[in-house]
């Protein structure tokens, strides 16, 4: 037998109209609020507007649909026993989506504003994931307590026992995790820093994840270092305490050259190169040292100067050598070839 439709059509029409009306009102309100927030952010040059709209664009639509379902079912002829299950399901979905949105918002906020707190150029993926994980765990505990009214003591006890077993099975993974967390919060290695390990690996730090630290070499290759190895390694950070660094080039001149004149020529040309060579700093200004001085075949001078950052040294050294070489030739300073004298002695007859 076919099921008969209700005598009063409003029993079906009213919930449908309420559902459509609430969804339409929610979408209109979302559009107005997001547009106002974008306008305010553009006016105040703030990243908050794009951050909020990008994070809540999807969740707000989902929340609008859930609110519409709640209003429609409240004004329908569905029996109360079924409405209870519907409302519990909607409550779980709402809290789950709220936790997810909060986790994404926190992760994006850490990524966007974290450098203002940590002082680093960027925030590592590990820091972002840890914040999101903490929010999800706290949110799920809150969900179990508020919605299902579960006792947390047995759950925490089980998690504690299970955590010991997991920790024993994942010693290497946890070692990398905690080492990465230490490296991230220590401030000794930051995203964008150029570091060189005592084992020879070097490059720009691109990210620190839960397992490894990735670096990009000057040749645009990827170097992957386990966090536990980085935590125990001896390394040089060429960006701390500041990125500039001192470099030098050496020139050998003939033994009959006048030392003071050579020093004056080299210093004059090095100072003149400031502003011509990208990456060459004027503070502190270049300096000339008669070091190591008399060599096997020449008088060796050392030209010291500072560059902006590690990667600038190669261009600056090359250009500085060219300028100094041309200037010494122009001034008539002899640049001897490496020579070696061989003395042959004739053995006397017995």
pTM: 0.61
Residue 151, phi then psi, degrees to nearest 5: -75, 130
Residue 239: half-sphere exposure toward Cβ, Cα within 13 Å: 18
pLDDT computed for residue 1 by the predictor: 42
Output the six-digit token pair for 210: 């839960």
Buried b or exposed e, range 213-246, using 16+ CB within 10 angstroms: bbbeeeeeeebebbbbbbbeeebebbbeeebbbe
* Cβ atoms of 280 and 307 closer than 8 Å: yes
Lowest mean pLDDT among 65-74, 82-91, 159-168, 316-325: 159-168
Q: How confident is the model at residue 2 (pLDDT cuts 50, 70, 90)?
A: very low
pLDDT computed for residue 161 by the predictor: 58
pLDDT for 155 beyond 70: no
Predicted confidence (pLDDT) per residue in 224-251, tens digit: 999 888 888 899 999 888 889 999 999 8
Lowest mean pLDDT among 27-31, 84-88, 241-245, 331-335: 84-88
pLDDT computed for residue 26 by the predictor: 86
C-alpha span between 15 and 76 (Å, rounded) = 6
Higher pLDDT, 333 or 53: 333
Domain ranges of the chain: 175-237, 245-330
Q: Mean pLDDT across the chain, nearest whole number? A: 81
C-alpha span between 67 and 303 (Å, rounded) = 74
pLDDT for 162 beyond 70: no
pLDDT for 185 beyond 90: no
Predicted confidence (pLDDT) per residue in 90-122, tens digit: 888 888 888 888 888 877 777 676 655 444 455
pLDDT computed for residue 118 by the predictor: 47
Fold observed for domain 245-330: Alpha-Beta Plaits (3.30.70)
* Topology match between the domains 175-237 and 245-330: no
pLDDT for 347 beyond 70: no
The highest-level CATH class for domain 175-237 is mainly beta
């Amino acid at each position: 037998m076919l099921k008969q439709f209700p005598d009063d059509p409003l029993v079906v029409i009213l919930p449908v109209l309420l559902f459509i009306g609430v969804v339409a009102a929610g979408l209109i309100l979302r559009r107005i609020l997001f547009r106002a927030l974008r306008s305010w952010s553009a006016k105040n040059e703030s990243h908050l507007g794009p951050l909020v709209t990008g994070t809540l664009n999807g969740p707000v639509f989902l929340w609008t649909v859930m609110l519409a379902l709640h209003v429609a079912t409240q004004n329908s002829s569905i029996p109360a026993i079924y409405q209870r299950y519907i409302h519990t399901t909607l409550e779980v979905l709402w809290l789950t989506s709220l936790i997810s949105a909060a986790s994404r918002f926190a992760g994006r906020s850490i990524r966007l504003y974290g450098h203002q707190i940590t002082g680093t150029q960027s925030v590592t993926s590990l820091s972002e994931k840890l914040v999101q994980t903490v929010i999800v765990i706290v949110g799920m505990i809150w969900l179990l307590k508020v919605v299902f009214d579960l006792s947390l003591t047995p759950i925490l006890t089980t998690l504690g026992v299970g955590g010991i077993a997991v920790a024993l099975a994942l010693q290497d993974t946890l070692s990398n995790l905690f080492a990465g967390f230490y490296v991230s919060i220590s401030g000794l290695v930051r995203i964008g820093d150029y570091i060189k390990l005592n084992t020879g690996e070097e490059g720009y730090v691109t990210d620190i994840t839960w397992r490894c630290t990735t670096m990009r070499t000057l040749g645009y290759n990827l170097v992957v270092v386990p966090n536990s190895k980085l935590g125990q390694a001896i390394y040089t950070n060429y960006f701390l305490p500041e990125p500039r660094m001192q470099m030098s080039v050496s020139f050998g001149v003939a033994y009959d050259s006048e030392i003071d004149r050579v020093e004056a020529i080299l210093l004059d040309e090095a100072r003149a190169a400031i502003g011509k060579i990208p990456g060459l700093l004027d503070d502190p200004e270049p300096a000339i040292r008669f070091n190591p001085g008399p060599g096997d075949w020449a008088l060796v001078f050392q030209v010291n100067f500072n560059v902006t950052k590690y990667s600038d040294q190669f261009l600056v050294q090359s250009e500085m050598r060219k300028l100094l070489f041309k200037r010494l030739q122009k001034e008539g300073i002899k640049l001897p070839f490496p020579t070696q004298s061989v003395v042959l002695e004739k053995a006397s007859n017995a």
